[in-house]
């Protein structure tokens, strides 16, 4: 049975948070996974990270990592020093993942998040070349540490590099590492793909991680706008055994609202109890739909 998770940003307005409290929270709701980001954890001591790892293990919660690289870490940059900084940031993250017992690294991890071309580009080959060379260097460490590096397919407004499953399959083929896989996300697929089913089936065995959310980034729900039967049916058709991680963002304000671009209160004033209830509905739905 697929493990079900949620991104820690759903409950927060800022990226720094009390991860131990959130582990308790997601366990209570019924999740198996808390997806975290490297930057907040880098600010903590080894002892603090160890405490988070130990608490997660005690509660039976897995930790997966998701990143949105800043422009100072752009692995596709023409500036060699920026690429070097991005490689080092990723390798430092891998060290933290080893400390915390995590093996899944995903997100906008091959180039800058929330940055696109500022002119009418017709050829991405230069940026692909720089990005692929950077990732190939990173993959040496990923393979040694047993870390899966999942390339997220994101929409055209958040990244220029890889916008469809077809592009991502070509990208990971060029990287050429068994640890370089794919992450599909229904929010982005809704914008870019012609078919949820065909994109998932194209990814096939290369699909290592899967994000879910409604088109307006609300938590998934049975009466939502996403064709969840088509999506979960496609996942089952490729015998997908990886995680299904919710990535809803519905609160204005703070770093999270700014970075995700939440410019209205999508939650309609929901407090913690209602936020948890909405998430619990999603968990129940995916457990039922992913039954054999």
For the annotated catalytic residues, the residue numbers are 152, 247
List the Cα angle 63/69/71 in 5-degree steps.
Answer: 165
- As a whole number of angstroms, the distance between CA 136 and CA 131 comes to 9
């Amino acid at each position: 049975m697929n493990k079900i998770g949620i991104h820690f940003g759903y409950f927060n307005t800022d990226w720094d948070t009390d991860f131990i409290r959130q582990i308790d929270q997601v366990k209570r709701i019924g999740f198996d996974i808390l997806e975290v980001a490297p930057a907040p954890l880098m600010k903590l001591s080894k002892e603090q990270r160890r405490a988070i790892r130990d608490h997660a293990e005690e509660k039976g919660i897995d930790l997966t990592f998701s990143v949105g690289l800043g422009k100072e870490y752009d692995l596709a940059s023409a500036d060699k020093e920026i690429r070097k900084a991005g490689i080092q940031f990723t390798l430092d993250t891998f060290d933290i993942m080893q400390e915390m017992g995590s093996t899944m690294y995903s997100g906008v991890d091959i180039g800058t998040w929330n940055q696109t071309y500022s002119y009418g580009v017709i050829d991405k080959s230069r940026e692909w070349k720089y990005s692929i060379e950077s990732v190939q260097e990173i993959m040496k460490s990923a393979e040694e540490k047993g870390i899966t590096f999942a390339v997220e397919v994101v929409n055209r407004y958040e990244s220029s590099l890889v916008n469809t499953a077809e592009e991502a399959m070509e990208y990971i083929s060029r990287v050429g590492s068994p640890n370089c896989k794919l992450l599909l996300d229904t929010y982005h697929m809704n914008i870019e793909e012609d078919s949820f089913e065909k994109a998932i089936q194209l990814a096939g065995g290369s699909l290592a991680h899967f994000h879910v959310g409604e088109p307006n980034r609300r938590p998934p729900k049975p009466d939502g706008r996403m064709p969840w039967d088509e999506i979960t049916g496609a996942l089952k058709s490729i015998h997908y055994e990886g995680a299904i991680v919710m990535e809803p963002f519905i609160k204005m304000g703070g770093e999270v609202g700014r970075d995700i671009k939440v410019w209205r209160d999508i939650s309609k004033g929901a407090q913690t109890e209602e936020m948890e209830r909405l998430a619990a509905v999603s968990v129940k739905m995916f457990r039922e739909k992913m039954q054999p």
